[in-house]
Amino acid sequence: MSYDVAFIGTGDAADLTDPSPDGFAMNYYHAEAYEVLENCTLVACADVDTDRAAAFADEFDIDAAQTYADYEAMLAKAEPDIVSISVWPDIHAEVVIDCARTDSVAAIHCEKPMDLTWGGSERMARVCDQRGVQLTFNHMRRFKPTWVEARELIDSGEIGDLERVELALGNIYDGGTHGIDFATGVVGDRPAEWVLGQIDYREENRWFGAHNENQAFAQWEYDNGVYGVVTTGKGSSLVPAKMRFTGTEGVLDVNPDDEDADNVVRWRGHGEADWNRRTLEEGAWTDPINDAIAHVVECLETGTEPELSARRGLNTTEIIFGIWESARRRGRVDFPLEIDDNPLHEMVESGALEPESTDD
């Protein structure tokens, strides 16, 4: 089959060379990935800034008549099969649901994190499921060569049966969603049963409009008995790697602290003094997007569940919002999570947390 692909939120091409918490122009990378697929044709784009939409269309040879300020007009006129979405998370659910309710749309690939709220995350997943629309999120680091190698080593039994995952991340929401998602995938894409966490948020830290804590520490348990631990910000050196996986027979680290590189895996058995090490070839940080989108399109053709599916994304997102909810409740949170909002944002809005503004 062939697919017509449209884009919502083109972003500013200037952000490709100077990305910031306000913009990364991720749909440019999405478009490059679709462009090399023989069964995909780039047909339309929408952005509230029509100059940005025009620049995107020019870059990818999209007919100028198929550029829009209003994405709903684009959906109605272009009738795309696949839509890639790269807008701020506070409107992810709204845009995804509008796409899912468009008869022509068979698949939606949305930037991470899922949504600004847990309720929005659940709603858009539910609507897409009801409409038979494939919904995926750009947790593309599942396709990062170093992370793929780590997963294959664990799956092959190098450290025995997995018992615990420890993560040292910059935050748990914007960038940290990649680490939690990958760990959850290694565990078997199982849901967690509970989480207990605490956060510190004293200096405002917004990415794409969303608050992110300055420091967090949390523990959770997956329904197969594997434990997860995450630490962010000050104190994250507690974990001697970006990710540590402990099994019944050994331990494996991804990006260990004794290596100034992000493409190293080391592992050893319990009681062994020396590490086995493997350094992987990595290209640009965006290269895994190509593999991710090729996989998404292939799954649309075959009808198989993608690695980046909404179901898997919900497992990750429930842990994230569960950590913030645990901090709000000051106690353990049992799943399923029964909230609709964003606990961190609510704590800021209510005055329970008062981060100092970083505006000049």
Report the SS3 class of residue 130: helix
Report the SS3 class of residue 216: strand
Structure confidence at residue 360 (pLDDT): 52
Q: Is the pTM of this model over 0.95?
A: yes
CA distance 208 to 4: 28
The two structure tokens encoding residue 41: 């044709």
Question: Are the CB atoms for 251 and 244 separated by under 8 Å?
Answer: yes
CA 37 to chain CA centroid, Å, is 23
Report pLDDT digits (tens) over 241-299.
999 999 999 999 999 999 888 999 999 999 999 999 999 999 999 999 999 999 999 99
What's the length of the chain? Answer: 360
The partner residues of 85 in beta bridges, in order of sequence, read 8, 110
Which positions of the chain have pLDDT values less than 70?
359-360
| Amino acid identity at 143 | F
Dihedral, 70, 73, 75, 80 alpha carbons, nearest 10 = -100
CA distance 313 to 295: 16
Structure confidence at residue 194 (pLDDT): 98
Give me the domains of the chain, ranges plus CATH numbers: 3-140+287-307 (3.40.50.720), 144-283+316-350 (3.30.360.10)
CA distance 166 to 183: 9
Respond yes or no on whether the N-terminal peptide bond of residue 336 is cis (omega within 30° of 0).
yes
| Amino acid identity at 18 | D
Structure confidence at residue 358 (pLDDT): 74
Structure confidence at residue 26 (pLDDT): 97
First to last CA, the chain: 52
